[in-house]
């Protein structure tokens, strides 16, 4: 009987990085470790009021080393010796400016504390103007280079962020050789890459965020970008033409990193991808099932056999890319720009007195104040969920819109804002929390409706991620609003599990992703069935949500036009 073999899945989220070691013979988790980015936790290099969110590459490097070493220590030397592969998923689009060696500029002299030389996190919306210009510019070209990203380019994505950084920072502009996604840089780092031009790029990232398409034989031509702004001239030649699916090896771990981490020198490093795409695989996605990765935002993934997508273009989503999720199938991506972030915002709002006043209390000691804050902060959202679940659902209560970080889909517009309507003197915290939860569920329904309107049936829902595992209240509401069951995957770190599955294929342990999912996937541990008694009222509430959202959208578009006229 052959000995067990092991792989590592590394999942870079918005707030932390998680590493797991998985036994490839049965999908059992052998060890797990989480590292919270210390610079990010301090709010360094960010300005939420200006929609600027940057992360220092040292947070990523430190997290990589600490979590993997911790996992190997937990697992022991016998397991460490049998690790065969390692794959990475990250948030996206989260790109960074690099020099010719592929080194992020923030890791080079003179740029250590320059936010523009750091990774521009997915939720950074400083490039709103650039995204709007790309959308207007694309109308002048044939073919339509936005056809595979739903017809709308977002400020969350690759080219808009690059153009913004080049425009606002001359020092970065002069030092920048290429522009690299987080999910491409980590495998490059681990394999000892020293030439940015030789970096293997993820099909997932390139297709969904950088306008790469098989039909275009790569990226749109230089003319498309240089005629938008001369600052982009030549970048297509310094980026990439070929892309790779995540079942392919990026290379073998470098001697330096093998020694640094305590891994065998023959560990295969897989091509990276975005967290939701690998999370969908970890959650055992099936064709026509919408896999909802529910964290700070949501990414909604669907896979469809390639031949069944022939000639179809889905408007207003985040892309359709052959092989971006499961090789041999078209991956469709949608999502909401704020999901868990909506609840986190409300928690922060309610916690303001605790955070700002309690520490100055003359009644309790600083130590007691801190302990009290931590205790109440941990209990706040679960208790709001319990209290909100007791409220009767009717069509005359508070109503919210979930665009607190703009709208990702359908029809990206990051200038849109959230709203809460119908407030009265009886509007307390549980009632407002319920309205926010409804809004996130209604936003999810609008995505399903768009797929159906575009001729793509949704056979069922798969819930993965932190919110899916932690909040029965929100998941039951999701089933009620959607009018269909949602099954919750049993694994807690599904994105990391998906990365581990891809590592097993890249290392040659399994022939393809389907086989890895079958053997290493553990199935589902909960199913939320819709409550027929609530569906009728939620249907009315959903129409109210669409009407209020339509009003906000119209007001936003009117304000845009007025601004353009004033500046004309």
Provide the whole-model pTM: 0.91
The residue among 146, 147, 116 whose CA lies nearest residue 54 is: 116
Peptide bond between residue 410 and the one before it cis (omega within 30 degrees of 0): yes
Q: Are 544 and 445 in contact (CB under 8 A)?
A: no
Position 565 scores a pLDDT of 58
**Do residues 272 and 254 both lie within one domain?**
yes
Task: Name which of 125, 177, 183 is nearest 155 in CA terms.
Answer: 125
Counting residues of the chain whose pLDDT is more than 90, the rounded percentage is 90
Please list, residue by residue across 182-191, b when 16 or more beta carbons sit within 10 angstroms of its beta carbon and e when fewer do.
Answer: bbbbbbbbbb
Q: Is the pLDDT of residue 152 over 50?
A: yes
What range defines the domain where residue 426 resides?
340-490+531-567
Q: How far is CA 497 from CA 258, 330, 336, in A?
A: 22, 21, 23
Task: Check whether 566 has a pLDDT greater than 80.
Answer: no
Q: Are residues 497 and 465 in the same domain?
A: no
Whole-number pLDDT of residue 355: 85
Q: Please give the Cα distance from 449 to 367 (Å, whole number).
A: 51
Which domain CATH number covers 171? 3.30.420.40
* CA neighbor of 211 nearest in space, from 195, 227, 224, 199: 224
Give pLDDT tens digits for 486-517: 999 999 899 999 999 999 999 999 999 999 99
Residue 300, in any domain of the structure = no
137: exposed, middle or buried (Cβ count in 10 Å: 0-12, 13-18, 19+): middle
Q: Which tokens sit at 281?
A: 């695989």
| Same domain, residue pair 372 and 418 | yes
Please report, in angstroms and rounded to a whole number, the separation of the first and last CA atoms in the chain. 75
328 located within any domain: no
pLDDT of amino acid 17: 98
Identify whether residues 440 and 545 lie together within a single domain: yes
Residues 153 and 249 in one domain: yes
78 exposure class (CB count in 10 Å sphere: 0-12, 13-18, 19+): exposed
CA–CA separation, 493 and 472 (whole Å): 18
- My answer on whether 274 and 143 are in the same domain is yes
Residue 326 lies in a domain: no
How many degrees, rounded to 5, is the angle at CA 519 between CA 518 and CA 525?
75
For residue 409, give the 3-state DSSP assignment: coil
Cα-based angle 80, 84, 85 (whole degrees, multiple of 5): 110
Kindly state whether residue 308 falls inside one of the protein's structural domains: no
Task: Identify whether the C-beta of residue 556 lies closer than 8 Å to the C-beta of residue 415.
Answer: yes
Rounded to 5, what percent of the chain is helix, strand, coil? Answer: 45, 20, 35
Q: What is the mean pLDDT of residues 271-288?
A: 96
- Looking at the structure, tell me whether residues 258 and 398 fall in a common domain: no
- In this structure, the answer to whether residues 484 and 554 fall within a common structural domain is yes
Q: Is residue 82 domain-shared with residue 150, that is, in the same domain? A: yes
Decide: residue 41, CB within 10 A, 0-12 exposed, 13-18 middle, 19+ buried. exposed
- Provide the 10 A C-beta neighbour count for residue 142: 6
For residues 325 and 343, what is the distance between their CA atoms, to the nearest angstrom? 28
Evaluate whether 284 touches 517 at the Cβ level (below 8 Å): yes
> Helix or strand or coil: residue 338?
coil
Task: Label residue 61 left, alpha or beta by phi (over 0 means left) and psi (-120 to 50 means alpha).
Answer: alpha
* pLDDT tens-place string over residues 290-317: 999 998 899 999 999 999 999 899 999 9
- Could you tell me if 507 and 84 are in contact, meaning their C-beta atoms sit under 8 angstroms apart? yes
Residue 230 pLDDT exceeds 90: yes
Are residues 507 and 455 part of one domain? no
Give the residue, 364 or 113, on which the prediction is more confident.
113
Tokens of 33: 């470790």
φ and ψ at residue 265, rounded to 5 degrees = -80, -5
Q: Check residue 7 and give its pLDDT.
A: 98
Residues 481, 496: one domain?
Answer: no
Looking at the structure of the chain, the number of domains it has is 2
In a domain, 329, yes or no: no
Question: Cα(504)–Cα(24) distance, rounded to whole angstroms?
Answer: 7
412 shares a domain with 501: no
pLDDT, tens digit, for every residue of 58-71?
999 999 999 999 99
Q: Any idea how long the chain is?
A: 568
Residue 133 lies in a domain: yes
* Structure tokens, 391: 């409220």
Give the lowest-confidence range in 44-48, 218-222, 556-560.
556-560
Copy the structure tokens of residue 265: 């020198």
pLDDT the model gives residue 1: 34
Burial class (CB in 10 A: 0-12, 13-18, 19+), 283: buried
Has residue 1 been placed in a domain? Answer: no
| Predicted pLDDT of residue 567 | 61
What is the rounded distance in angstroms from the CA atom of residue 171 to the CA atom of residue 111?
Answer: 9
333 inside domain? no
């Amino acid at each position: 009987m052959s000995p067990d073999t092991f792989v590592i899945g590394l999942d870079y989220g918005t707030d932390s990085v998680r590493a797991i070691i998985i036994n490839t013979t049965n999908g059992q988790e052998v060890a797990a470790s989480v590292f919270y980015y210390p610079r990010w936790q301090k709010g360094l290099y960010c300005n939420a009021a200006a929609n600027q969110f940057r992360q220092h590459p040292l947070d990523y490097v430190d997290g990589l080393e600490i979590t993997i070493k911790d996992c190997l220590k937990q697992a022991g030397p016998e397991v460490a010796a049998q690790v065969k592969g390692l794959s990475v998923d990250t948030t996206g689009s989260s790109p960074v400016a690099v020099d010719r060696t592929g080194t992020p500029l923030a890791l080079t002299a003179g740029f250590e504390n320059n936010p523009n030389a750091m990774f521009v996190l997915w939720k950074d919306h400083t490039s709103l103007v650039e995204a709007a210009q790309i959308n207007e510019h694309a109308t002048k070209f044939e073919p339509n280079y936005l056809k595979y990203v739903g017809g709308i380019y977002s400020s969350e994505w690759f080219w808009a962020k690059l153009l913004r950084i080049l425009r606002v920072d001359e020092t970065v502009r002069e030092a920048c050789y290429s522009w690299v996604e987080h999910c491409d840089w980590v495998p490059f780092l681990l394999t000892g890459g020293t030439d940015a031009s030789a970096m293997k790029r993820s099909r997932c990232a390139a297709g969904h965020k950088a306008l790469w398409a098989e039909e275009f034989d790569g990226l749109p031509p230089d003319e498309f970008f240089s005629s938008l702004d001369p600052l982009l001239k030549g970048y297509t030649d310094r980026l990439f033409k070929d892309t790779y699916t995540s079942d392919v090896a990026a290379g073998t771990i470098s001697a330096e990193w093998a020694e640094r981490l305590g891994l065998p020198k023959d560990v295969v490093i897989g091509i990276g991808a975005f967290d939701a795409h690998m999370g969908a695989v970890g959650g055992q996605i099936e064709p026509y099932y919408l896999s909802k990765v529910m964290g700070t935002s949501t990414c909604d993934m669907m896979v469809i056999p390639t031949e069944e997508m022939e000639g179809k273009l889905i408007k207003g989503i985040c892309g359709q890319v052959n092989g971006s999720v499961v090789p041999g199938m078209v991956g469709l991506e949608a999502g909401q720009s704020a999901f868990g972030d909506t609840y986190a915002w409300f928690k922060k709002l309610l916690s303001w007195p605790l955070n700002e006043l309690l520490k100055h209390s003359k009644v309790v000691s600083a130590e007691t104040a801190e302990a009290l804050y931590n205790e109440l902060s941990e209990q706040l959202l679960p208790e709001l969920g319990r209290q909100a679940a007791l409220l009767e659902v009717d069509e005359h209560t508070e109503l919210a819109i979930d665009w607190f970080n703009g709208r990702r889909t359908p029809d990206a517009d990051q200038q849109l804002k959230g709203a809460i309507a119908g407030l009265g003197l009886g509007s307390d915290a549980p009632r407002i929390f319920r309205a926010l939860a409804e809004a996130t569920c209604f936003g999810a329904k609008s995505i399903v409706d768009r797929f159906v309107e575009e001729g793509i049936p949704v056979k069922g829902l798969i819930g993965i991620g932190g919110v899916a595992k932690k909040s029965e209240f929100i998941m039951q509401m999701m089933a009620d609003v959607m009018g269909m069951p949602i099954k919750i995957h049993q694994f807690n770190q599904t994105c990391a599990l998906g990365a581990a599955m891809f590592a097993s294929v890249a290392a040659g342990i399994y022939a393809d992703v389907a086989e890895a999912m079958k053997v290493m996937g553990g199935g589902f541990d909960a199913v939320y069935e819709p409550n027929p008694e609530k569906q009728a009222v939620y249907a009315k509430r959903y129409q109210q949500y669409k009407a209020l959202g339509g009003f906000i959208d119209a007001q936003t578009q009117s304000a845009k036009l007025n601004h353009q006229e004033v500046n004309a």
